[in-house]
Amino acid sequence: MKQLKLVMNRDTSLVMTQAWYRGHIATWRFFGFDFKDLLFVFDGLSVKSYRGVDSFEKQLPPHFSNWLEETQHQKIFFQTVDYYLKIYSQTRQLKANFDPKALPVKARKIIETIHQFTLEGFKGLLPVFWIPIWQERGLPFPKQVVERCIFIRNVQKEAFFDDLIDTSDFYLELLGKKNRWPKDLVRLVKLEELKQPDFKVVEKRKNGYLYTDEQLFDITELPQVIKDRNYQLIENEISFDGSLKGMPASPGKVKGRVKIVLARSQVGKFNAGDILVASKTTPWYVPLMKQAAAIVTDEGGITSHAAIFSRELNKPCVIATKTATKIFKDGDMVEVDANKGIVRKIDND
């Protein structure tokens, strides 16, 4: 049985879920590794990404380490990274130059461009992100390759995919508005359906869908899809003794009530002074971060969006807790000690 581990949870559209899947598959095939074990599950709120444990954590890293031993492959790697940087720059320009008056044809073409940017950009982004991590775990990589990866990671602050999602969402909403699509179904349209969606079909995806092997399934088919592929879905083990340890990202110590926000549709429940708990923050979280007493995330590193913006806002922040969104519930009273990276549940007053 193949184990697939939950690695990410994002509020994103079906168009970008397709790009997310295709970008991963295309990247590792480009570098000579036939990576297949990838499953995306939309539960009606956000998209969860499950990735093969054996294939990604045990087989891929040594393959890529060996692949980069050849000088010619290193040249290909640097060319790919340079092209990624070009795409990154173009993505930033697209985001900076939103066109609220774009006609449907232009909006659709921009969404298609973003989809292609994801496929091509991931070939640089994913190795840049993973090579330093794999090296820390003991795998050998050429010094100049690692240095290049670390430099890019420090400069770009993990923003590429988030920028793509934000830009795609902007033009999806614009396309839906111009074409008078049902507002609650815009983000459930496939890339191939952008010209003429059948909303009787699209509406069936509201409660959830699965995406794998370039196929879209109804959420009710999850047990059969798992069985057919001999998959076992696993998530981070939840161990809680009253306090949760993460990584300090911005100092401070406060108390407040938890509000878990995983999707834009949950923004309305957030009140000033709440403790914002999320899988990971992205630009659309910023208005909530400004109101929050503190920020707590499952994911992230010291250069993540949550870490950077919490420091700019002077808000206590604990990142990389792995399970905060699973352990805490809306209304829980907690103490966030961002000096030590600890979130502790306390009695309600």
Q: Of the ranges 54-63, 114-123, 234-243, which one carries the lowest mean pLDDT score?
A: 234-243
The pLDDT assigned to 93 comes to 87
Quote the mean pLDDT of the chain: 92
pLDDT exceeding 70 applies to what percent of the chain? 98
Q: Of the ranges 168-182, 230-244, 333-347, which one carries the lowest mean pLDDT score?
A: 230-244
For 262-291, letters b (16+ CB in 10 Å) and e give: bbeebeeebeeebbbbbbbbbebbeebbee
**259 and 332 Cβ atoms separated by less than 8 Å:** no
Q: State whether the Cα torsion 78-40-8-17 is positive or negative.
A: positive
Task: Please give the class, per CATH, of domain 243-345.
Answer: alpha beta
Tokens (6 digits) for 33: 């590794």
Helix, coil or strand: residue 176: helix
Q: What contacts 231, CB < 8 A, 6 or more positions away?
A: 1, 2, 3, 4, 37, 39, 225
State the average pLDDT over residues 287-303. Answer: 92
The pLDDT assigned to 292 comes to 97
The pLDDT assigned to 166 comes to 86
pLDDT in tens, 118-161: 999 999 999 998 999 999 999 999 999 999 998 888 776 556 88
| Cα 88 from Cα 71, distance rounded (Å) | 26
The pLDDT assigned to 344 comes to 95
| Cα 12 from Cα 157, distance rounded (Å) | 20
Of residues 93 and 294, the one with the higher pLDDT is 294
pLDDT for 258 beyond 90 = yes
The pLDDT assigned to 18 comes to 97
**262 and 46 Cβ atoms separated by less than 8 Å:** yes
pTM (2 d.p.): 0.87
State the average pLDDT over residues 75-98. Answer: 90
pLDDT tier at 276, thresholds 50, 70, 90: very high
State the average pLDDT over residues 176-203. Answer: 95
pLDDT for 72 beyond 90 = yes
The pLDDT assigned to 91 comes to 86
Annotated domain spans of the chain: 2-229, 243-345
pLDDT in tens, 198-217: 999 999 999 999 999 999 99
Of residues 98 and 114, the one with the higher pLDDT is 114
pLDDT for 17 beyond 80 = yes
| Cα 263 from Cα 129, distance rounded (Å) | 25
The pLDDT assigned to 241 comes to 83
pLDDT for 349 beyond 70 = no
Phi, psi of 232 (to 5 degrees): -130, 120
State the average pLDDT over residues 317-341. Answer: 94
**11 and 161 Cβ atoms separated by less than 8 Å:** no
